[in-house]
Structures are given as structure tokens and as C-alpha cells.
Structure 1
Amino acid sequence: MMRNLLFTIAFISILALSACQSTNTDKLPILGSREPVTTEVNGETVTDTVYHSIPDFEFLNQDSLPITGKTFENSIYVADFFFTSCPSICPIMHRNLLEVYKKYKDNPEVMLLSHSIDTKYDTPSVLKSYAEKLGISGNQWQFASGTRETIYGISPEYMVFTEENDQVAGGFEHQGWFILVDKDKHIRGAYNGTDEKEVAKLMKDMDILLSEYEK
């Protein structure tokens, strides 16, 4: 619980710092670490900022097909972490995320990615049944299964705390963030997936982010 609390405090600090650094209300901030990189171009010193980005990955989806970072190319996407037998926040999260799915259904520039942290039970067939119960069809909302190393290894990249914990209900501890990722794999927002007002803000921010790519 203490690690979860510290992770949350650190994440909120990043959100607050990014909000302060963002002066353009028509453009979302880029969250996470950033590093200045200096290069020489035509004899002049140029400094660019390199932002944290989601590294490439490989999982199996609910159709037992491999998905990687390339699956989400040319799309913004919302990522979260859950497990199908979750007795606490997951049903609320996915009821709310279903509203996002409905709003952007069939929009090729929008995808959803839910990672199961129950790497033993939540096989592709279990995730397929779960998706069908939600009324999900097609490949716009991907449900990812993987090894413990790959799933738990990717969650910090989204700044989301996940942990196996026999002392909590369901045996897994995780945060309920919805993470908004842009087409360059940068994190552009984080929202409490159990709060309808936060999810409404997520959809508003998704519209802002999509407008960045309008020609």
C-alpha cells in the first residue's frame, strides 16, 4: 500500500508540473520525464527536448493474435490495467471506458488497450469472453495478455502501479488510471477511470489531441 501511495504522489506531482508548464490551453502537455539533447546543425548548437515515450512491446490479444506498438501506429490510444476477476474498481473502470469506446467507435485514429495483470488466469480466450460480455467487437479495443515480466514491466512506462498482493481482494493491487497516449507514444494525460467526471475530461482531451493532427 505504501508503494502505491508513493507512486500516486509522484504521478500527481508530474501532472501538476506538466500543467504548470503548459501555457497553451488548446494543446495538451506531454507528461513524464524529459531530457535536453544538444546537437550541432550547420555549425550551430541546437537543443531539443526528448520526452518519455512508451517503448515497443509484444502481447497476445483476445483473438490470440500478436499486438505490438505498430498495432497502434497512426492512432491515439487509452491504456489501462485490470483483471477479469477483479472484485473492486475494474468493473467501474470498464463501464466508464465503454462510453469512450462508444463515442469513438470505428474512428481509425482512436484505439483502447487494456492490459490484464492476472497473467495466469486471463488467457486470450478468457479475455475474448470478457470482451464479448462488454459488447466489444472488432480490433479497436485490444485486451492484452502476456507474461508477468512483460505486463508488469510495461506498467511503470505508463506510470501505473501494479503488483501481485495476496493481502488485497482479488490478489492484485493496481491503480485505476486511464492513460492517454498520442501518435508519437507520448503520454498526454491521466484520468481516474472510476470517476465519470474524469472520464468526461478524458474524452474532451481526446478531441483536443485529435485536433492536433488535423491537416
Structure 2
Amino acid sequence: MTNSALPYWLALAVVVAALYGGFKVYQVEQKRRDAAIAAEELSLPPLTDFELTKSDGTPFRSADMKGKVWIASFFFSTCPGSCTRLNQNIKHLSSLDDVADADWVSITVDPATDTLPVLAAKAKELNADPERWYFCRGEFDDVRRIAHDYMKVGGVSLKGHNDFAVIIDKQGEIAGMFNAVSTSDSKKGLEIIKRELAKEYVPQEEPEATPPAATNEKQAAVEQSSRAIASKVTAHSAP
């Protein structure tokens, strides 16, 4: 190594060391943030129902989907990776006659970018049936909890997701999952969807309300009075 090249290599070493140090700081900060998010989620009650906003501005409520089979997936409009394949495959699957009664729900993991007009443009680009394929957004923290608590699929971060589609049955329960960019896995998913579509929806009966304490006390007083009256009648009737 010549003396003239020495400053260059020293400068390069400094740059590499700085980049490496910055990367390690980022890793530590990311782990700290993930731990804080996990702790926050553990302190919250499990999510059993949720509400998002469709690209047309109307609400999407999971509770309103009882009696239907629907399939949810996660994406974002500027995704440079698998989102294109995922949405093109959903476009194909949603067009099949065998599952024409199923609904599809695509949820963005980048709500800051994916405003309602952006989602509407994405739906138009994919020629999505507005009655059966909904593009939805919500607060990112809510979307993350939907993936974790409701869908049981996880894997959601800002502009990050896995490629699984989650099948929700008519009772509102998870019936299965499949990799929505895999041809072979999508075939398995189709069989689950067809099986669930063939099932009858059985509405769950609402549990009977427990009478308030005041009502119980009143009923007890009525029963006590009835017994007292009955005893008096018996006494007067005795020979």
C-alpha cells in the first residue's frame, strides 16, 4: 500500500464503521420499539370485531359479515415486491364461479400513503367488483392488531406483511389460511372456501340477560308474600 492510498483506505474504513454502527443502532432501536409494541398489545383486550373504511368511504365492519365467507389479505399500493402477484392472484380467484359468493378484503399496511382515492384507483386498476372485493384502510395500530388478534396471522409492520390470505367462515371464525402467491397453496385455499360456502349459517343465540339485583330482590319479596298468603289460606281452611 502506497502512502498516497493510505488516506483513501482510512476514509473508507471510517465510512464502513459509521454505516455498521448506524445499522446496529437501528437494530437495537427496532427491537426496543417492537418490544414496546408487544407490551402494549398484551395490555389490551383481544380484538374480537373491528371496523375499517372502504375505498368508497363506507364502513367495513367484521360483525356485518356474519353469514358470509370472506377472505382477507394485506398489501400496500407502492409495494415493489409480492403485492402485484398477490393482488393479481386474488383477481383470478375472485373471478371463479365456484367461489362467486365469497367476498375479498384487501387491507393496506401503509394507510398514510393509501388514502381512499389511492385505494379506489387500485380497485379500478384491478377491475375489482365493488360488491365483492373491498380495499380498506384504518389506523396502522388498528391494522396491526387486526392481523395479530383477529386474523391470527401476524407479520404486519409499516409497509410490511406476509402473503397469507385468511379465510373467515360464516360464523366469523378462521376456517384456514393459504399463501396467496402460491398456485398450489391457492388451490388448497379454494377447496376450503368452497367447503365453507356449502355450510349453513347458524346464528348464535344471544345469552339470556341476568336480571339485575333489584329485580331479584323484588321477585324474592313477591314469592315470600305468596307463601305467606298461602299459609294464611291454609290456616283458615283447617277444620
TM range (shorter): 0.5 to 0.7
Residues 203 and 106 of structure 1: CA distance in aligned 2, closer, same or farther (over 3 Å): closer
1:196/1:163 Cα in 2 relative to 1: closer, same or farther (>3 Å)?
A: same
* Alpha-carbon distance in 1 for matches of 2:121, 2:99: 21
Rounded to whole Å, the distance in 1 between the matches of 2:176 and 2:99 is: 22
How far off its partner does 1:106 sit? Answer: 9.0
Amino acid at match of 2:161: H
Q: Which amino acid aligns with 2:70?
A: Y
Aligned to 2:185: 198
TM-score, normalised via structure 1 length: 0.67
Among candidates 125, 130, 135, match of residue 133 of structure 1:
125
Give the C-alpha shift of residue 112 in structure 1: 0.7
Say whether residues 1:84 and 2:71 are aligned partners: no
1:20 aligned residue:
none
Please list every run of 5 or more consecutive structure 1 residues that lacks an aligned counterpart in the other structure: 4-52, 165-171
Alpha-carbon distance, 1:212 to partner: 2.0
Distance 1:79 1:212, change over 3 A: same
Letter in 2 for 1:100: L
* Match among 150, 165, 168 for residue 181 of structure 1: 168
Q: What's the RMSD between the two structures over aligned residues?
A: 2.5
Identify the structure with the greater helix proportion: 2
Matches within 5 A, 1:16-27: none
TM-score by length of 2: 0.61
Q: CA deviation at 1:122?
A: 0.4
1:123 aligned to 2:91? Answer: no
How many residue pairs match? The answer is 158
Aligned-pair identity in percent equals 21
Counterpart contact for 2:47–2:145, Cα < 8 Å: no
Distance 1:98 1:105, change over 3 A: farther
Higher relative contact order (CA 8 A, sep 6+): 1
Residue 152 (structure 1) aligned with residue 144 (structure 2): yes
Aligned AA for 2:177?
A
1:75 aligned counterpart, secondary structure: coil
Secondary structure, aligned partner of 1:162: coil
Specify the SS of the correspondent of 1:99.
Answer: helix
Q: Which of 96, 100, 111 lines up with 2:103 in the alignment?
A: 111
1:10 paired residue number? none
1:61·1:124 contact (CA, 8 Å) conserved in 2?
yes
Structure 1 contact 82–90 (Cα < 8 Å) conserved: yes
Say whether residues 1:65 and 2:58 are aligned partners: yes
Local SS of the residue matching 2:160: strand
CA distance in 1, matches of 2:144, 2:136: 12
Residues 1:161 and 2:155 are matched in the alignment: yes
Contact 1:54 1:186 in 2 (8 A): no
CA contact (8 A) 1:54 1:185 kept: no
- After superposition, give the CA deviation of every residue in 1:45-78 in whole Å (9 maximum; x if it has no partner): xxxxxxxx97211111010111111332211111
Q: Which has the higher strand share?
A: 1
Cα pair 1:104 1:110 within 8 Å, conserved:
no
- Structure 1 CA distance for aligned equivalents of residues 103 and 117 of structure 2: 21
Deviation at 1:105, TM superposition (A): 8.8
Measure, in 1, the Cα distance between the counterparts of 2:201 and 2:143. Answer: 33
Aligned equivalents of 1:102 and 1:54: distance in 2?
31
